[in-house]
């Protein structure tokens, strides 16, 4: 199951929801709870996004986006984090699976992040990074629940 929350830097709408195909690719093969959320950042002169990102082809789900390696102390994402509450703070280990309308091509996604004045980052957090969700017991299948004790 994927929990999707859309949030924005301003009270205005956070932009379009993630592309369903991009979200499906990012969550493929994982049956555990995951958190997906979006944030809209307006770039300012002299201010970077403040994220070190990396690409990994180790798992099929990570081939179509970038992993957040580190959130720097200064930058738009750090400002976002200060103004946001958990679990919607970007952190190391989060996976950016879509930037604006671009998904599925890591090089194009990075280019989009670098060149656009406003970026909508669609972020996915895996279960191991979601303590509150990872602690929730998995649902018991109906057949197992119906067995006499």
pLDDT, one tens digit per residue, over 4-55 is: 544 444 433 356 789 888 888 888 777 677 899 999 999 999 999 999 988 8
Compute the distance between CA of residue 144 and CA of residue 82 in angstroms, rounded to an integer: 44
Compute the distance between CA of residue 77 and CA of residue 39 in angstroms, rounded to an integer: 9
Q: What is the pLDDT of residues 57-107, one digit of tens each?
A: 776 666 789 999 999 999 999 999 999 999 999 999 999 999 999 998 888
Q: What is the mean pLDDT of the chain?
A: 77
Q: What confidence score (pLDDT) does residue 64 get?
A: 83
Task: Tell me 26's DSSP state.
Answer: H
Place of tokens 């990102």: 53
CB 103 within 8 A of CB 124: no
Question: How many residues make up the chain in this entry?
Answer: 149
Compute the distance between CA of residue 26 and CA of residue 43 in angstroms, rounded to an integer: 26
Task: Tell me 74's DSSP state.
Answer: S
Predicted TM-score (pTM) of this structure: 0.73
């Amino acid at each position: 199951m994927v929990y999707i929350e859309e949030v924005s830097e301003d009270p205005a709408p956070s932009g379009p929801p993630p592309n369903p195909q991009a979200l499906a690719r990012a969550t493929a093969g994982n049956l555990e709870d995951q958190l997906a959320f979006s944030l809209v950042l307006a770039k300012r002169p002299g201010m970077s996004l403040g994220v070190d990102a990396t690409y990994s082809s180790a798992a099929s789900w990570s081939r179509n986006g970038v992993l957040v390696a580190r959130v720097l102390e200064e930058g738009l994402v750090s400002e976002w984090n200060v103004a946001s509450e958990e679990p919607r703070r970007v952190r190391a280990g989060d996976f950016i699976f879509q930037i604006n309308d671009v998904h599925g091509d890591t090089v194009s996604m990075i280019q989009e992040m670098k060149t656009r004045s406003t970026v909508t980052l669609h972020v996915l957090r895996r279960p191991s990074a979601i303590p509150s969700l990872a602690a929730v017991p998995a649902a018991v299948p109906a057949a197992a629940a119906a067995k006499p004790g």
